[in-house]
Structure 1
């Protein structure tokens, strides 16, 4: 073997461990996803798929260039705190987290690991970021909506069920966003000629009892506000409202898809899709402090005509022309 060929061979051999280490290092980029719904929820599956597809389009393939660890914790604040501590101990490159409950727990657990939030309400007022334009810390991401959207739910309810004079507001009373959403509805109610009545359930059985009791008095309607517990147990919420012929509005499309009368709110799956872009930028070296918090870009109005017929309601043409989706 010639000396030049021998030197070249040695150089290539020496480069192998370096290349292997570089590939391993890249493959070890780790993302932990903490969600507020149950693992088998159809919405959970849709969000995960959208997130992974968007990451792949940016060059981050699960099992190849990144590892993704999912933690779907349901609605327990205690479990959220426990999970936050466990995840921080893993020292991932970045955390994608959903809901105010989860973000509140993570903000206590770490001030250094980058966090991209989705499905969060009022991050400035909640103290997660300094401002929408410049978050200033280790947290950035995407908000669900402003509290003012709750007023649109009230108007939508009055539009589809104009005889409504009493409005049950299903909320989670210890959940900051639940308080804020009710405040908006309460402020608007007098001008709409309706009485808002908060429903603050302690558990699923209590929620069913309270909705049923409210529906026993005529001319009632219901607004289901945003909350992890309400979303997780939406099948019970929807079934109870429909069984008692109670017109109700819901905050997301998947409620209407599951049999709810009508929903209006941001595209939740799209938020996970958009979150991939911030994950990509952070993995490439950008700081959450410099990435502005963004609001929703897509809102969906979905009407379930089948449910409307069961409730004896005629859907106004004004709703049909605005609807993004009509479920027959």
Structure 2
């Protein structure tokens, strides 16, 4: 029995065995990344819990609009992680309803991040979203620094320390691990991994940084504060 981490670790383990059950946790898109046949019927010896429920991407835009109602332009930083396309498609569907114009920046380095934010900052009433990606996580302080420099309301989708960012809205990863333990238990009792559907997150975490909101001149609506799991003061 193996409980693995992300896509790379799961792929390595899959290539090593077709017999030992594998329960993965926080793989971004198991179907697109070729780990399972489908979410309802993963097949073979692999099942688990996806890191994201992709409709959440529309919620990221809604949260930015709620905390910064004047926002009309949003820069979306997308790193090398191929699942960015699914997130972007969801946001492109939601943006017109919120009267938001999206600028998608597919970046692969710190220099590209800086260049894209520098160029975008010339647009009025802007805000910024950083999609889930290891490279973007590694440059988190750089990104929040640029957001502060240009006074851009910013939202982060990665499970990480918010730092000086304004909002983080992401899956509750500890909950995914707790739920993965129930699959391990069922497999040990005789269930076949390929018959257990891949599940998506059902719990999400909203963190709001009031210090950053104040620095940006934003007043966080009481209803939004009431929904927050954590408020940084």
**Normalised-by-shorter TM-score class:** 0.7 to 0.9
Alignment partners' CA distance in 1, 2:93 and 2:135: 25
Alignment partners' CA distance in 2, 1:163 and 1:183: 23
| Contact 1:253–1:300 (CA under 8 A) maintained in structure 2 | no
1:308 and 2:213 correspond = yes
Q: Deviations over 1:117-174 (max 9, x none)?
A: 11123323443223333321121111123221100001111111122121111112x4
- Residue 110 of structure 1: how far off its partner (Å): 4.3
The equivalent residue for 1:122 is 29
Q: 1:191 aligns with which of 90, 97, 107?
A: 97
Q: 2:157 aligns with which of 240, 251, 263?
A: 251
3-state SS of 1:176 partner = coil
Give the paired residue count. 233
Alignment partners' CA distance in 1, 2:44 and 2:203: 27
Alignment partners' CA distance in 2, 1:320 and 1:301: 9
Alignment partners' CA distance in 2, 1:212 and 1:110: 47
The equivalent residue for 2:4 is 96
1:178 and 2:84 correspond = yes
- Residue 285 of structure 1: how far off its partner (Å): 5.4
Alignment partners' CA distance in 1, 2:145 and 2:182: 37
- Residue 230 of structure 1: how far off its partner (Å): 1.6
Residues 311, 253 of structure 1: alpha-carbon distance in 2 compared, 3 angstrom cutoff: farther
| Contact 2:42–2:194 (CA under 8 A) maintained in structure 1 | yes
The equivalent residue for 2:198 is 293
3-state SS of 1:197 partner = strand
- Residue 267 of structure 1: how far off its partner (Å): 0.8
1:165 and 2:57 correspond = no
- List aligned pairs for 1:196-211, cutoff 5 A: 196-211=102-117
Structure with the greater alpha carbon radius of gyration: 1
3-state SS of 2:83 partner = helix
Higher relative contact order (CA 8 A, sep 6+): 2
Alignment partners' CA distance in 2, 1:114 and 1:314: 50
3-state SS of 2:61 partner = helix
1:213 and 2:119 correspond = yes
Q: Report the RMSD for the aligned CA atoms in angstroms.
A: 2.4
> Which residues of structure 2 form unaligned runs of 5+?
none
Q: Which moves more between the two structures, 150-159 or 185-194?
A: 185-194
1:240 and 2:146 correspond = yes
**Normalised TM-score (structure 1):** 0.64
3-state SS of 1:179 partner = helix
Residues 280, 108 of structure 1: alpha-carbon distance in 2 compared, 3 angstrom cutoff: same
1:145 and 2:41 correspond = no
Runs of 4+ in 1 over 4 A off after TM superposition: 104-110, 280-286
Q: Deviations over 1:260-318 (max 9, x none)?
A: 20122211222223323334444565432233322223211211101111122111223
The equivalent residue for 2:42 is 135
Residues 302, 235 of structure 1: alpha-carbon distance in 2 compared, 3 angstrom cutoff: same
3-state SS of 2:102 partner = strand
The structure in which a higher percent of residues are helix is 1
